[in-house]
Structure 1
Amino acid sequence: MMTRLRSIVQHNLPAKIAALIVAVVLWLYVMNDQNPAIDGSYTVPVTIENAPNGYLMNAADDTVTIRVRGSRSLFVSADASDFHARVNLSDFIEGDKLYAVETVIPYGFELVSVSPDKIDVNLDRMVQKTFKAALTVGGSPASGFTVDKVTQENEAVTVEGPRSLVNQVAHIAGHINLSGQSSDYTATVPLFALNSDGREVAGITLTPSATEISVKLVRGLTRKVVEVQAHPQSDLAPNLKLEGVTVEPARIEIAGTEDVVSKITSIGTEEFSLAQVRETEKRQVKLVLPAGVTAADSNVTVEIKVGAMQ
């Protein structure tokens, strides 16, 4: 029996082997022709992993295009939800950094490319900083009236937001309009964060965002317009020189009894430090008003101009 079986197998063996090889080649040809390897692309969202707490995050791209190669049958059964892209921030730094895009693709596919293969992510630390709110007064009260006193409920204001924006804040300001007022009154004054150029800084939060004020008006006082003199301290950094200090407004209207006001020729500011000045800047400072003397606005803006020491 075994001898007969062996005889059948060995009979015309070369032809049988050749036929088997031809069959395999034909099968491979047919499979490759009917199910060839092709390329395809999928655009997928990028998942951010290990994002640190307490930072504002901004990624330059939120999607990537994954290009893969595989047989036609693989593409028939796959869709974009089977492909994943992620960025790992476990080794983050504050500021801008390029992070590599990691991908997960289904079995059987070959990864050809990822575009972009790195994503620029900016991390900005959320911080808080406290400022003293300074109110400016505009307009003139009714004829015969002048400002005796302005009371501000909240002077301390907390600024919260990304470090890069909070660092732009130079001062907190609000505006009181006295036009036509003839009696004491209260009002809610919105507060604004301003940079050194007097422009509002957006993207931050102020607490409180407004302050209650009370204005007391009096009649029968003498008014007079006098110059304002700035009084900077002598603590500027040794590598800088003070090129000048200008005051805005340069002249203000004061009010008080005639015997007091008649003796006043100028009003000075509080002394202000120059220790933190690194470049030309603007800031608000308070006026030093003699007893019994009032001004519509007890704050002025000083521009401190500095240059490098030669």
Structure 2
Amino acid sequence: MSKEKKSNLTIKIFSLVIAIILWSYVMSEVNPKITKEFRNIDVVFSNMEDLERSGIELMSPKEVKINVKVEGRRSEVLKLRDTDIIAKVDLSGYSEGTKKVPIYIDVPSKVDIVDYTPKEISFRFERIVSKEKPVVLKTIGKLEPGYSLGDGEIKPQSVILKGPKSWVNSVREVVAVVDITGKTKDINATVPIKLLDDDGNDVGRVEKEPNVVDVFIPMYRSRKIPIDIQLDGSIPTEYENPTLTVSPKAVDVKGNDAILNTLSSIKTKPISVYKLVGSGSVETELLLPEGIELVDPNQKIVVSLKSNSIENGTDVEDSDVENGNISENINKRFDYSFSEINVRNLGDELVIDTSNSTNSITVILNGPKDYLNSTGKEVLSPEIDLKGLDEGVHEVKLIIKDIREIKVSDIIPAKVKVSLKREEKE
């Protein structure tokens, strides 16, 4: 290598050493200021116990993180750690609702805060409430054939719920669930409480007292027993070959074995023939012996009356067949709803409450077969006269237009119930 090239290389190396020495001096002795950003610093929630003493619950957010930018001498900034930066919010003194709470930052004295975000947080607070709700008994599973359940008992019958208002209000139902699969004896059990919302999901964040209830469910044998119809009054003579039917024909009942074994049938309560003829069918109740219950307490029992002599809109002969000839006079039935009845002399400011008035009227006519066959229900022009009647419930006579050669055999009911009330003004 030439002396000149060797001299240049020596100068370059010397310059680099001098530069390193100068940089080290500046960094160690001069120590310039720098900035640095710390991200996702946890915010500390202080004075939470003050909220609890005030009966307030913090709903959201449950945790907060912020970003902090600091400035200081390089040596101080480089040794700074996330844990050296203290970010906190003071939650004391806040009431129910959504509140903006400022964030306070503490850093070591040798560095300065340049900026931080966010500077405040919206917190949602709710009042803690207590509410008493009844416990509902529910069963799952299937009983053995021939067995049914009695009315269950729960102790205690209600529980106290406690928690934030929205959580407590979200509880639609408090239930105790019992599995009845394969059970043949009375059930005694201690059952945990479940809190359910409108969608049937568990609400697990609400406190409840107690957490369990004691349940007793009696177990009964069950049998299907036929129904025996009882009437109050006699069926009109116009009904030839009347047919009484009941639906269902038999019901499932439960109770003491000794009583069940003596039952051959269960009677209905006496049914008014007057009502039965007027409507054609009547919903009734059963006379259940003491200690006997329906398996389905909502079971509907309907008794119906049918006849070959009077059918709606059809004609049937009034007399027997004689010498192969049919008599000329027949009966014919017309049914009217209240809306088909003409109303006269309804008082000023009065209206008819149809929900509390007779809603079905039957008119039975007797007359020549050919004439009745060509007669429609509109010919009768049934009407009621409300002259002089004021607010209240009244019974008025149904007026039927006279028709040549036709006789009114019966009107069911004999008087029409009319409910009048004052017209509501806007």
Distance 2:117 2:97 in 1: 23
Question: Could you tell me the percent identity over the aligned residues?
Answer: 25
TM-score, length of structure 2 as denominator length = 0.45
Other-structure match for 2:186? 184
Cα deviations by residue, 1:233-267 (Å, 9 ceiling, x for unpaired): xxxxxxxxxxxxxxxxxxx9753565896538689
Distance 1:253 1:196 in 2: 33
Task: Please list every run of 5 or more consecutive structure 2 residues that lacks an aligned counterpart in the other structure.
Answer: 1-24, 227-250, 270-282, 299-425
Other-structure match for 2:46? 49
Aligned: 1:165 with 2:167: yes
Whether contact under 8 Å (2:45, 2:88) holds in the other structure is yes
Task: Please list every run of 5 or more consecutive structure 1 residues that lacks an aligned counterpart in the other structure.
Answer: 1-28, 225-251, 268-288, 300-309
Q: Report the residue type matching 2:254 in the other structure.
A: A
Aligned-pair distance for 1:208?
Answer: 2.2
Aligned: 1:94 with 2:96: yes
Aligned with 2:36 (options 37, 40, 46):
40
Other-structure match for 1:255? 254
Distance 2:157 2:219 in 1: 21
CA 1:174–1:259: 2 relative to 1, 3 Å? farther
Distance 1:94 1:35 in 2: 51
Distance 1:68 1:80 in 2: 11
CA 1:76–1:150: 2 relative to 1, 3 Å? closer
- Equivalence map 1:107-256=2 (5 Å): 107-219=109-221, 221-222=223-224, 255=254
Whether contact under 8 Å (2:137, 2:152) holds in the other structure is no
Q: Comparing 254-263 with 132-141, which one deviates more in the overlay?
A: 254-263
Q: Secondary structure at the match of 2:167?
A: helix
Q: Highest Rg: 1 or 2?
A: 2
Q: Secondary structure at the match of 2:202?
A: coil
Q: Report the residue type matching 1:59 in the other structure.
A: P
CA 1:152–1:104: 2 relative to 1, 3 Å? same
Q: Which protein, 1 or 2, shows the higher relative CO under an 8 Å CA cutoff with sep ≥ 6?
A: 1
CA 1:111–1:261: 2 relative to 1, 3 Å? farther
Whether contact under 8 Å (2:134, 2:174) holds in the other structure is yes
Cα deviations by residue, 1:130-176 (Å, 9 ceiling, x for unpaired): 11101123444333333234222221112122221101112211223
Q: Secondary structure at the match of 1:40?
A: strand
Other-structure match for 2:371? none
Aligned-pair distance for 1:127?
Answer: 2.3
Whether contact under 8 Å (1:222, 1:261) holds in the other structure is no
Q: Secondary structure at the match of 2:135?
A: strand
TM-score, length of structure 1 as denominator length = 0.59
Q: Comparing 93-102 with 129-138, which one deviates more in the overlay?
A: 93-102
Distance 1:190 1:297 in 2: 27
Q: Report the residue type matching 2:38 in the other structure.
A: Y
Distance 1:103 1:30 in 2: 31
Q: CA RMSD in A?
A: 3.7
CA 1:182–1:80: 2 relative to 1, 3 Å? closer
Whether contact under 8 Å (2:35, 2:72) holds in the other structure is yes
Q: Report the residue type matching 2:57 in the other structure.
A: L
Other-structure match for 1:71? 73
Distance 1:297 1:211 in 2: 26
Aligned-pair distance for 1:61?
Answer: 3.8
Q: Secondary structure at the match of 2:218?
A: strand
Distance 2:289 2:71 in 1: 84
Q: Secondary structure at the match of 1:86?
A: strand
Distance 2:180 2:284 in 1: 23
Whether contact under 8 Å (2:96, 2:124) holds in the other structure is yes
CA 1:141–1:77: 2 relative to 1, 3 Å? closer
Distance 1:74 1:290 in 2: 94
Distance 2:80 2:122 in 1: 29
Whether contact under 8 Å (2:268, 2:284) holds in the other structure is no
Other-structure match for 1:9? none
